[in-house]
Amino acid sequence: MRRKLVVANRKMHGSIAENAHFITGLLAGTADAGDADYAVCLPHPYHFQAQTLLSDSPIGWGGQTMSRYAYGAHTGSVSASMLLELGCQYVIIGHSERRKAGYESDAASGERFQAATEAGLIPIFCMGETLEEFESGMTVDVIIRQLNAVLKQVGVHGLAKGIIAYEPIWAIGTGKAATPEHAQCILSFLRGHVELLNEEVADKIRILYGGSVNAKNAKQLFSMPDIDGGLVGGASLNTDEFIEICRIANSLSCSTISVEQI
Ligand code: PEP
Residue 215's pLDDT is: 98
pLDDT digits (tens, 9 = 90+) for 136-154: 999 999 999 999 999 999 9
172 touches ligand 1 (CB under 6 Å): yes
Residue 8's pLDDT is: 98
> For the chain, what is the mean pLDDT?
96
Q: Which amino acid is at 32?
A: D
- Cα–ligand 1 centroid distance for 96 (angstroms): 10
Strand ranges inside 106-162, DSSP E: 122-127
Residue 254 has pLDDT above 90, yes or no: no
Residue 39 parent element (H or E): strand 37-41
Average pLDDT over residues 246-251: 98
- Cα–ligand 1 centroid distance for 63 (angstroms): 15
Contacts of the segment 202-205: beta carbons below 8 A, 24+ positions apart: 204/2, 204/160, 205/159, 205/160, 205/162, 205/163, 205/164
Spatial CB neighbours of 13, under 8 Å, sequence gap ≥ 6: 43, 237
The rounded distance, in Å, linking the Cα atoms of 89 and 1 is 22
pLDDT digits (tens, 9 = 90+) for 51-99: 999 999 999 999 999 999 999 999 999 999 999 999 999 999 999 999 9
pTM of the model: 0.95
How many CA atoms within 13 Å lie on the side-chain side of 239?
A: 14
User: Which of 169, 212, 236, when mutated, tests ligand 1's pocket best, judged by the most ligand atoms within 8 Å of its CB?
Assistant: 212
Residue 108 CA to its chain's centroid (Å): 18
Give the CA distances from residue 195 to residues 3, 143, 188, 202, in Å, rounded to whole numbers and listed in that order.
19, 16, 10, 5
